[in-house]
Structure formats: C-alpha cells, structure tokens
Amino acid sequence: MSVVLLAGLWAGTINAVVGSGTLVTFPVLVALGYSPLAATISNGIGLVAGGVSGAWGYRRELRGQGRRLALLLPASVVGGAVGAVLLLQLPESAFEAVVPVLLVLALVLVVLQPRLQAGLRRRAEARAAALGAEGGTPRASRWLVGTTVLATLLIGVYGGYFTAAQGVMLVAVLGSLLDEPLQRVNGLKNVLTLVVNVVSAAFYVAFGAEDVDWLVVALIAASSLVGGALGARYGRRLPPTALRAAIVVLGVVALLRIVGSQAGWW
C-alpha cells in the first residue's frame, strides 16, 4: 500500500497547485485491482483531506473574495450533489463520453486566458466610461456573473461525478471570466473544489458505502493532507506563466489518460 501513499501525496500536492490529482490516484487504484467505481468513490472521499490543507494554505489569496465565494459556493454545493447522484445511478460511460471535450475546452481557455482577460478589461472600462457617474449594474456585468455561476455549477456536476481535472477546468474558466491574477483564481478554485468534494463524499458515504474501501480512504487522506500543504506552500511561488504551463501539461496528461483508457490503450 506504499504506492497508494505516494500517489495520495502527489495528488494532494498537484491538486493544490493546479488540479488533476485524481489522474494520479485513480489509475493506481485500478491497477491494484479496484473496480473503477470503488476507485472513484474511495479516492474522492480520501482527497477531501488534501483539499482542506490546500485551501487553508491558499487563504492569503482569498482575501477580498468573500462576496465572490458567497455567490459561487451554492453552485458548487448543488453541482457536487448532482454529480454524486449521477455517479451512483448512471453507468460510468454515460458521463465519461464528454470528458475529453470538456478537457480540450479547458486547455484552450488556459492558453487564451491572457487575451480573454485583456478583452474583458477593455470592455469593462468602455462600459464604465459610457455610463459615467450613473449607478446600477450594466447588463453585460450581470451576464458575466450569471455565466460564472453557471460554469461553476456545471464543473461542480462534473467534479461530483468523476473528480479528475475539475481544478483545471475551474482555473481555465474562472481565470478567463474574472479579472484576477492566476494565483488568486487558484485560491478560489481550491475552496470550490473542496466544497464539491465534501458534498459528493457525503453522498458516497450515505448511499454508496458498499463501494468504499476505508483503508484506501485512510491512506489517501493522510498522504494528500501532507501533499496539499506542500502544494500550497510551493505552488504560490510559481509565476503565472509557469503555473499556466503546468495546467496545460497536466490537462494534456489527463486527456491522454482518459482517451487512452476509453480506447483500450492501457
């Protein structure tokens, strides 16, 4: 079981920095003989601990984002619950079919994020200049808020079902929609993914306990807790370009693993 400990440590570390930690632990558990469902559920419960340490480690980047969290957290709660129900009720192939498409979209958004942010900033400045001293919220701003909430909800559904790469998707989407530095977006991502994982884990325990391997849960929880703290400590030191490159690399790895698994390459 030492390999599970190492996988949990690495998963907790990269979840705090970028996401996609499940793409480390999930293949390891399947290779050890666990069914995909048992691996997904046990891994999802275990990684909650790493999410806690990762989110706590990024608390500095969350300053000033309280209102944003209050707006987005309910979407993550609902999304995580819906995703967990889908996992427990539907065949895995039903949702995994769209995973490659979602990952490709996320990677494209990561690459285009600086240009998208610049465009959003220019439009916001143009609206402010046009409105002058008038009060009220511009329609485009309300549209942007609605789009951000909807995207958080849909990614929460995905995260509650499969978990892997939801962090990559959140950073890609929120980084493109919000005019914030990437590290602050990453701190926001850590809290939202933690909420999704906690909610989905609660559903797994309540309605899918027969598929939980508690030894695996304990091993991944202990090692990912340490990994999350390490990732939060060293991940914030990465410059935006390096962090974006890490997101793209891990996203591509996630895409290859999922497509390769579906194609029977391994």
Convert the pLDDT of each residue in 91-125 to its tens digit: 867 766 777 887 787 778 778 767 776 776 676 67
Residue 120: the pLDDT is: 62
- Please provide the DSSP assignment of 121-172 as one string: HHHHHHHHHHHTT--S--HHHHHHHHHHHHHHHHHHHHHHHT-TTHHHHHHH
Residue 153 to residue 174: CA distance in whole angstroms = 12
Cα separation values, 106 from 84, 99, 165, 214, 244, Å? 22, 10, 9, 33, 12
How many CB atoms are located within 10 Å of the residue 241 CB?
10
Q: Would you say the pTM of this structure is higher than 0.85? A: no
Residue 234: the pLDDT is: 81
Assess whether pLDDT exceeds 70 at residue 72. yes
Confidence of residue 236 (pLDDT cuts 50, 70, 90): low
